[in-house]
Structure 1
Amino acid sequence: MLSFMARRGVPELVTPARATPRETKALSDIDDQHALRYYETVIGFFRRCHGQSDGPDDPAEAIRAALAQALVYYYPVAGRLREDAGGRLEVDCTAEGVVFVQADADVRLEDFGEPLQPPYPCVEELLCDAGDTRAVIGRPLLFMQLTRLKCGGFVGGFHMCHNMADGFGMIQLMITIAELACDAAAPSILPVWKRELLSSTTHSPTPIVYPNPSYEQLQLNILDSTCDDVMLSTPLNEMVVDYFIFGPREMTTLENHIRGYHAHSATSFELITAVMWRCRTIALGYKSNQTVHLMITMNARGRWNHHTPIPWGYYGNAHFSPIAQVTVDELCRQPLNDTVELVRETKLSVTAKECMESMLETMASTRNRLCEDPARTYEVSDTKWIAAGNGLQLGWAEFVGGGIPVAGDITSKIGSDHMRCKNQDGEDSTVVSLLLPRSAMERFKKEMAVWLNKHDDKSLIIQSSL
């Protein structure tokens, strides 16, 4: 296993390259959730392009200068969050700047493994110290480290306040930095604020109609006691994280477990999620009569959202989380076809305008409440687009991999992220993170091996530990 220590420079505050408006901006009701008061982590690996003589001698200085230019367009990111008199978060656009750290590591890009897959060795060495990642008020909203490698490649590691942007917004900012580092006159995607689009029209305590009863139950925290959920009672130092790779061969095997219509129409996300939810539920030892939940993060920028169009360039949080609920007995005894259909129906439920509105009203009405983690809930996000990299090319450097590592604020990684990678045969694949208590992880692997007919095949699993 690769081991190294990065040599970090002194952290510096990078401010906008030109004067920016001094104003206060309100966040949306989705942004202003207590559950998002943390710094999300994203990492990207870049290889210097051979034969490119017009690239900068020092990528860190080029990226730093581009970051200052990008903050002219994304000037709220250079400000600070504060609470108004009612406790709502707002952005004070002070142009105080973001944290930037230059670093060097005596390793080459190929030392991280070929193909490049999580877990990334010594990932914490590629991220600067963001301090308390649950404290967001009055602090820089972005922490960035640029680590130069011996081969000429480099790694960008980001901690960004989740109240300011979701994953899509973070990537949009990174694309802007990449374009400006290549001497673009302006970003190809101009940032749009318009947080009022995803704010409730009323914040009064009027009764809310819930088309999705399970969403009401979770959001209002009226679940039974969480003390019987081992996921919430196990200390983080007694948990492990594994990454599971699903390439063409694994997907074919899973498809053989479903018949008829679903075999041809089920997406990889739906099929993988259905199987992992079942295996995870069994591994955690929940009782057969207990209710378990599946929470799916849906990007409102998707084609399914015809009723609340999100403008191109919007970089705020634009995600909703429809929820499915069944008993353990129902989930584990029903045919896999039925679980896949449940995942699909849950995704489709959010396409109803009334459901989105009820979710938004719930977020607004419960904003002042410190939401506890719901019991027996599996949260899943499809973030494969984060590692696509099409917009992250710098001309003189090629994006070769990255995504959301299980690093930084670990408590926010209880759910699974679906990311893109190459498998050992160089085939496009999906890699899924999973955090579980150590004993539950062993049971999960055995359950998953049954579905994949891989009792002795370790190529599916890439193990890490916290």
Structure 2
Amino acid sequence: MVSKFSQVLSVTRQAPELIVPARPTPREVKQLSDIDDQESLRFHVPVIFFYKNDPSPSMQGRDPVKVIREAISKALVFYYPLAGRLKEGYNRRLMVECNAEGVLFIEADANFTLEQLGDDIQPPCPYLNQLLYDVPGSEGILGCPLFLIQVTRLTCGGFIFALRMNHTMCDGSGLVQFLKGIEDMVRGKCSPTLFPIWQRHILNARNPPRVTCIHHEYDEINNNEVPSDNMAHKSFYFGAKETKALRNQLPFHLKDCSTFDLLTAFIWKCRTIALKLEPEEIARVSCIINARGKRYKTDIPSGYYGNAFAFPAVCSKAEHLCKNPIGYAVELVKKAKAQMNDEYIRSVADLMVIKGRRIKFPTRGNFIVSDLSNLGFGEVDLGWGKPIYAGTAGAVELISFFVKHQNKNGEPGIFVPICLPQSVMERFQEEQRRMMIQGTMEDLCNINQTQISSKL
């Protein structure tokens, strides 16, 4: 249903322009890695930040559009491949032509305040098409700007910073690194605090390539579905009360599982029930896992801003997933994450080369989850303080993102946007309410038993 406010919301945009690097940059062609160069990453991801009118002393009286435009230009000197254009080489191999054509930028003004938006700053953003205008011809993968950025001033003095990123160039960590580089330029630094490193060859296939792991996330099956035209896009909040209700339903040895494991298992189970898969059909869940850092023993250097993740999957017959307690799904999610290590991501790169990079993840019965809650989106300060919301503007097809945010009562928690056909979404909501009530009832039973025991 369209709200009364949305009917009067208006955004006035200036003509799109190209922001180029502030100084001359190398003219060269750089190949993407075999992890970047996956068919399943050839799409754009919208991300949005909402800022209050809370400028730092150095920004008093300054225009955020001008400040950010200049900072982007300076940051592109160091991240100059992002100002280039993608092209294909032999066998559709992606490479970026570093030609300094620039990123696409839109200056805009709105007729509303941040306060008027209320809960609409939470994903999915209902006004995304106004706050991030889809410039005709800009949405392609080849020969198009790699970033589309719109900064919209609000009547309260705050602003909205929205962008759309070509996923083949960066993952979530890489995007945050670029944004922190823009932040450094806003602060007047001469170079980014964390210097960007290309070195995409680090995640290229081995010679000869050899697939050493099982990759259910790329299973080639014939049950892919055409997306429904009647899609519902909603966001679900999980705070302390909600996660406690779910933990109440776990066996003792799983009580201390991570919030990510718990919520992923819960959503996967409810989603599978709502999809009404046949009992013998396979349901999958994939967990997007960042390969950076010592934990996975990869040699990815600090400053690498390319895609450095894999999304290992686990499978279950739909009947087993739907009828077993939630602990069954938690065990499988933990198993999916446990597969990730240096050998696993090397095996993915090798698989891409062997299969010609054309394989994509299956769609029917599949669910992919990415945890963005600790990547640092909420720490990006462009001179007006930290954003009151920062993260993806919503779900992307089969992919849901965990975003850290406060609910309307100011309680911290996790928002998870989900996209499903309308009828499936209704069943999903019914199932998640049922499981939440079940967990709450178990909590009340435990409290009563404790009270009885204390009296005895």
Once the two structures are superposed, the pairs formed by residues 71-86 of structure 1 within 5 Å of their partners are 71-86=76-91
Match of 1:229 in 2: none
Partners of 1:262 and 1:38 lie apart in 2 by 36
Partners of 1:160 and 1:141 lie apart in 2 by 6
Task: Give the counterpart letter for 2:419 in structure 1.
Answer: L
Match of 2:389 in 1: 401
Partners of 2:144 and 2:383 lie apart in 1 by 33
Match of 2:226 in 1: 233
- Moved segments of 4+, more than 4 Å: none
What do residues 235-274 of structure 1 show as CA deviations (whole Å, max 9, x unaligned)? 2x311011110001101111100121211x2111100111
CA, structure 1 residues 247+169, in 2 after alignment: closer, same or farther (shift >3 Å)? same
State which of 279, 286, 303 in structure 2 corresponds to 1:295.
286
CA drift of 1:47 comes to 1.4
Once the two structures are superposed, the pairs formed by residues 64-463 of structure 1 within 5 Å of their partners are 64-113=69-118, 116-131=121-136, 135-202=140-207, 208-212=210-214, 215=215, 217-219=216-218, 221=220, 223-226=221-224, 232-235=225-228, 237-263=229-255, 265-306=256-297, 308-351=298-341, 353-369=342-358, 371=360, 373-386=362-375, 388-390=377-379, 392-406=380-394, 412-453=396-437
Task: Give the counterpart letter for 1:402 in structure 2.
Answer: A
Structure that is richer in helix per residue? 2
CA drift of 1:432 comes to 0.6
CA, structure 1 residues 455+318, in 2 after alignment: closer, same or farther (shift >3 Å)? closer
C-alpha contact 2:51 2:384 (8 A) present in aligned 1: no
CA, structure 1 residues 268+289, in 2 after alignment: closer, same or farther (shift >3 Å)? same
* SS state at 1:281 partner: helix
Task: Give the counterpart letter for 1:394 in structure 2.
Answer: L
CA, structure 1 residues 455+354, in 2 after alignment: closer, same or farther (shift >3 Å)? closer
C-alpha contact 1:67 1:177 (8 A) present in aligned 2: yes
C-alpha contact 1:147 1:156 (8 A) present in aligned 2: yes
C-alpha contact 2:291 2:310 (8 A) present in aligned 1: yes
Partners of 1:39 and 1:335 lie apart in 2 by 36
* SS state at 2:133 partner: coil
CA drift of 1:364 comes to 2.1
Task: Give the counterpart letter for 1:251 in structure 2.
Answer: T
Number of residue pairs aligned between Structure 1 and Structure 2: 435
CA, structure 1 residues 131+324, in 2 after alignment: closer, same or farther (shift >3 Å)? farther
State which of 16, 19, 26 in structure 2 corresponds to 1:21.
26
Task: Give the unaligned 5+ runs of structure 1.
Answer: 227-231, 457-466
Task: Give the counterpart letter for 2:226 in structure 1.
Answer: S
Give the TM-score normalised by structure 1: 0.88
* SS state at 2:388 partner: strand
* SS state at 2:414 partner: strand
Partners of 2:130 and 2:439 lie apart in 1 by 35
CA drift of 1:220 comes to 5.2
Q: What is the aligned-residue RMSD (CA, Å)?
A: 2.2
* SS state at 1:448 partner: helix
CA, structure 1 residues 250+9, in 2 after alignment: closer, same or farther (shift >3 Å)? same
CA, structure 1 residues 254+368, in 2 after alignment: closer, same or farther (shift >3 Å)? closer
CA drift of 1:451 comes to 1.2
CA, structure 1 residues 449+143, in 2 after alignment: closer, same or farther (shift >3 Å)? same
Task: Give the counterpart letter for 1:321 in structure 2.
Answer: F
Q: Which 10-residue stretch deviates more, 360-369 or 419-428?
A: 360-369
Partners of 2:346 and 2:231 lie apart in 1 by 37
Partners of 1:438 and 1:296 lie apart in 2 by 25
C-alpha contact 2:284 2:314 (8 A) present in aligned 1: yes
CA, structure 1 residues 334+132, in 2 after alignment: closer, same or farther (shift >3 Å)? farther
CA drift of 1:173 comes to 1.1
CA drift of 1:16 comes to 0.5
* SS state at 1:41 partner: strand
C-alpha contact 1:46 1:153 (8 A) present in aligned 2: yes
C-alpha contact 2:352 2:359 (8 A) present in aligned 1: no
* SS state at 1:398 partner: coil
Task: Give the counterpart letter for 1:253 in structure 2.
Answer: A
CA drift of 1:185 comes to 2.3
CA, structure 1 residues 69+53, in 2 after alignment: closer, same or farther (shift >3 Å)? closer
Give the TM-score normalised by structure 2: 0.90
Task: Give the counterpart letter for 1:336 in structure 2.
Answer: I
Partners of 1:125 and 1:315 lie apart in 2 by 29
CA drift of 1:347 comes to 0.3
